A and B are shown apart, each in its own frame.
Chain A
């Protein structure tokens, strides 16, 4: 007697045989003790696997996972300190730059706000009515007086660099997870 191949027995138990092949296998198993014994062994293995109980997790996963999803709380400590340093740096830069900024603002001798707004309104009305805007209108106004700008420039450059550096570090974890 030709016995059933092992893969047929497996597919028989997995209900993966065609109806015709299933009926054939069933008929063979009814008359072949060797194949029937093999089937019993395979069934016992299936039963063993089915009986394997779940093991309860020892921890609650949600809090840890949700903290990873909130950008502020997922930041590494050095980066959080850097954000604080950035804020302090901005305050210090503003304090250092203030005396020179004050001199600059006073020397500009700004006109009253209503005059500025009235002038702007007139300007835009003219700009829309004329087809061409005079190039003279677009020239950058010169800063009046001889104001030492080094401190102010350094402060602005410093703040910009610090801003770029810190924000790059803030975005780094996101880029890492996306890649």
Chain B
């Protein structure tokens, strides 16, 4: 099962083989979790939304073209679910929650600690963005979608996608400039 391409796994899933879906989850869970974690900033919520993403994928797998790569599709499903979740969630001042990340409890050499601090600043700056801007950064920079693909995925006009992306970057740059130690 581990050696099968995604396409074959999807065909097996359609025949009712749940083990094949387990393998597909195993392959893509890290990427899906990271979409959710970048957008939500909280591990527990990201885990819940990751699970929700795969359940949604299971229900909609019959609409998916098995000849296309699975990972970009499932990452877009995750991003859209997170966006809906953020729209329904009461606004809160989110901080990057790494409490459950065991790797962060270990002491690090100064250079790595500095890099981690910078990554935390970037994550925090991303979480400071309004969800509308956060999602376009996610889709453009982390999922590498084109403007047209983002517009299609979010069902927004192309002009809105462009202006949202430029504003998001501007806000991020300002935020990171303020947070930067130099």
Contact = CB atoms under 8 A, between A and B. Distances in A.
B137 interface: yes
Contact of B54 (A56, A58, A61): A61
A69 B58 contact: yes
A78 to B, nearest CB: 22
B18 interface: yes
Contacts of B166: 6-7, 10
Contact of B55 (A10, A53, A56, A68): A68
A159 B55 CA distance: 35
Interface string A46-65: 10111111111111111111
Contacts, number: 96
Contacts of A7: 162-163, 166
Nearest to B169: A45
Contacts of B101: 55, 58
Nearest to B147: A16
Interface residues of B, number: 45
Nearest to A16: B147
A11 B169 CA distance: 12
A66 B103 CA distance: 28
From A53, A55, A56, A62, residue with most partner B Cβ within 10 Å: A55
Contacts of B34: 54-55
24 contacts: A6-B166, A7-B163, A7-B166, A10-B169, A45-B172, A45-B176, A48-B118, A49-B122, A49-B141, A54-B31, A54-B34, A55-B33, A55-B34, A57-B47, A58-B102, A61-B47, A65-B21, A65-B25, A65-B51, A65-B55, A66-B18, A66-B21, A69-B55, A177-B55
The 6 A-B pairs at the shortest CB distance, nearest first, are namely A57-B33, A62-B22, A62-B25, A49-B141, A61-B29, A54-B34
